[in-house]
Amino acid sequence: MAQIRINNLRKEFGAFTAVKSSTFTVEDGEFFMLLGPSGCGKTTTLRMMAGLELPTSGEIFIDGEEVAQKPASQRDIAFVFQMFALYPHMNVRKNISYPLVSQGVERAEVRARVAEVARILKIESILDRSVGGLSGGDRQRVALGRAIVRRPKAFLMDEPLGALDAEFREHMAEELRALHDRIGATTVYVTHDQLEAMQMGDKIVVMNHGSVEQFGRPQEIYDWPATKFVAGFIGSPAMNFFDFNGAISPGGESIELSGNPVGVPQARQGATGKLTLGVRPEHIRFSDQSAYRGRVVATEYLGTTQIITLDTPNGEAKARTSARQAIREGEIVGLDFNPTTVTIFEGLKGQALLSAGNEGVLHHG
Ligand code: ATP
């Protein structure tokens, strides 16, 4: 098991910078997600950790040892690709034992370790079957077995479930997480799927355009997004953004949204000019008392909750309420936001203004 520390890691491909000065730490035994949209530099970061790509600058420490310029073979970590490749002419047992046999490990030791892996993965009954006839799930388990049997310090996984259909993907995600909990090995997992990252990860790094926007626990990132990008990327439906010009009240407790006062958390830094109020759909409440009003333009029934689309003075917004709340299209409703749950973003990069409640949990890259 290992701690992996990334310090000011940078990768340029010619004139293009794919990864810009990333800094974060994967603690020993963590299930750690690298999350972001296509092209943001996740795979390049993972490949640098693995030793498959040399950084332009920066450091990578595995258990305190600087390895940035060392080849993959000297890092003792297993890289699991999206397409699990198995040797089709070998049975399950031979596929799993292959990495040990090629390292010259003794036969008795190989047998014991394959048996242990088969028990962990619950595939004892198929050890002597040919891989050709296996189901997709069993093939994935065998491929994982081949990675686990080496007992590497860490696993690096690049969208390992990317090719699977939604239902099976969810099942394998649960299995992978449970497997991690059983063996406790440090795992770094690349995904562009925010739900997958939230469900599986102990920690998440959110990347955009080669930069780390934030890292932290899933709930910290959801509740206290460090930037407007993170706020919009995590959560479905996405966080609502209400642009407003202006002033946070002198005491820092409210803003004016289209002429109506709206409560906000105590902003530690004052800011004026173009600001954005961020409100999650589940934090919009309907209240007759509120002078800030919107018109219901659509409702979407989801069983226990419903998504209500509203036309507000600041554009379209989506609210999530209990499905039992009676609401009709065309209705004009007062909108109320709980001040402790909203975020205000400022500036070109859309940085969140820190408040007393969230300043301890934000981590910028
Ligand atoms: P995806 O999920 O689409 O793979 P990603 O976040 O993993 O996205 P990377 O594969 O790390 O992104 O790529 C980041 C950027 O670097 C992309 O714009 C990509 O085109 C570029 N890039 C990656 N590898 C190379 C290379 N060998 N030469 C030139 N550009 C590259």
pLDDT number for residue 245 = 79
Q: Ligand 1, closest atom to CA 16?
A: 30
Query: What is the C-alpha separation between 94 and 285, in angstroms, rounded?
Result: 59
Backbone CA torsion sign across 346, 347, 350, 353: negative
Give the closest residue to 287 by CA, choosing from 254, 321, 253: 321
Helix (H) or strand (E) holding 92: helix 92-102
Residue to mutate (ligand 1; options 16, 33, 45, 209; most atoms within 8 A of CB): 16
* pLDDT score at 270: 61
- Looking at every residue in the chain, the average pLDDT score rounds to 88
Question: What's the average model confidence in pLDDT over 1-16?
Answer: 94
Nearest residue (CA) to ligand 1, atom 7: 43
pLDDT digits (tens, 9 = 90+) for 55-89: 999 999 999 999 999 998 888 888 876 556 788 88
Task: For the full predicted model, state whether its pTM sits above 0.85.
Answer: yes
Residue 362's pLDDT band, with cuts at 50, 70 and 90, is: very low
Task: Enter the DSSP assignment of 39.
Answer: T
pLDDT-based confidence at residue 340 (cuts at 50, 70, 90)? confident
By CB atoms closer than 10 A (0-12, 13-18, 19+), residue 145 is buried
Domain-wise residue ranges, the chain: 4-223, 238-346
How far apart CA 71 and CA 75 sit, in angstroms, is: 7
Strand partners, 26: 4
What's the pLDDT at 360? 46
Degrees, nearest 5: CA angle 177-236-263:
120
For residue 220, the model assigns a pLDDT of 93
CB 298 within 8 A of CB 309: yes
If one compares 214 and 135, the residue with the highest pLDDT of the two is 214
Whole-angstrom distance, CA of residue 262 vs CA of residue 254: 5
Task: State yes or no: pLDDT of 121 exceeds 90.
Answer: no
Reported as a single tens digit per residue, the pLDDT across 267-291 is 555 667 788 999 999 999 999 888 8
% of the chain residues with pLDDT over 70: 92
* 308's tokens: 């209500």
pLDDT class for 364, splitting at 50, 70, 90? very low
3-state secondary structure of 181: helix
Average pLDDT over residues 16-28: 96
Residue 296: pLDDT above 70? Answer: yes
Please state, in angstroms and rounded to a whole number, the distance separating the CA atoms of residues 315 and 294: 9
Query: What is the CATH class of 4-223?
Result: alpha beta
Least confident of 131-145, 180-194, 306-320, 327-341: 131-145
Ligand 1: atom nearest CA of 11 is 16
Residue 311 · residue 320 · CB < 8 Å: no
pLDDT class for 346, splitting at 50, 70, 90?
confident
Atom number, ligand 1, closest to the C-alpha of residue 41: 11
- Secondary-structure class of domain 238-346 per CATH: mainly beta
The pLDDT value recorded for residue 363 is 43
Q: Is 149 left (phi over 0), alpha (psi -120 to 50) or beta?
A: alpha
Ligand 1 pocket, residues with Cβ under 6 angstroms: 13, 16, 18, 36, 38-44, 192
Element (H or E) spanning 80, and its range? strand 77-80
| Radius of gyration (C-alpha) of the chain in whole angstroms | 24
CA of 44 from ligand 1 middle (Å) equals 6
Question: Which residue's CA lies nearest to atom 20 of ligand 1?
Answer: 39
What count of Cα atoms within 13 Å lies in the side-chain half-sphere of residue 350?
18
- Ligand 1 mean position to 1 CA, how many Å? 28
Determine the average pLDDT of the residues in 181-206: 93
Q: Which helix (H) or strand (E) holds 310?
A: strand 305-312
Tell me the mean pLDDT in the region 84-106: 90
For 297, the token pair is: 């333009």
Q: In this structure, what is the dihedral angle of CA atoms 192, 194, 200, 203, given to the nearest 10 degrees?
A: 90
